[in-house]
Amino acid sequence: MSKNNARNAFTKLQSEIEQIQRHAKFCEDQINIKVYELYGIEQPEIDIIDANATK
């Protein structure tokens, strides 16, 4: 495999990984929304949860 082909394959793989990561984040966000709805969690509580999740 030439360097150019290897670089193209690597770039394509990086793009696919980023796409999968974006989709996983979307799914995680949708699950969180459903859980918040299920348990009746309000926006002020969601803000606290989100702030603690990023620590």
The residue among 55, 21, 28 whose CA lies nearest residue 36 is: 28
Does residue 2 sit in helix, strand or coil? coil
**The two structure tokens encoding residue 28:** 């995680």
Please tell me the predicted confidence (pLDDT) of residue 55: 67
Only one residue has tokens 């696919």, namely 16
Cα torsion 20, 48, 42, 35: sign: positive
Please state the domain extents for the chain. 20-55
Please tell me the predicted confidence (pLDDT) of residue 25: 96
- Greater confidence (2 vs 41) lies with 41
pTM of the entire structure? Answer: 0.75
Please tell me the predicted confidence (pLDDT) of residue 54: 73
**Model pLDDT for residues 3-53, shown as the tens digit of each residue:** 899 999 999 999 999 999 999 999 999 999 999 999 999 999 999 998 998
CA distance 51 to 55: 7
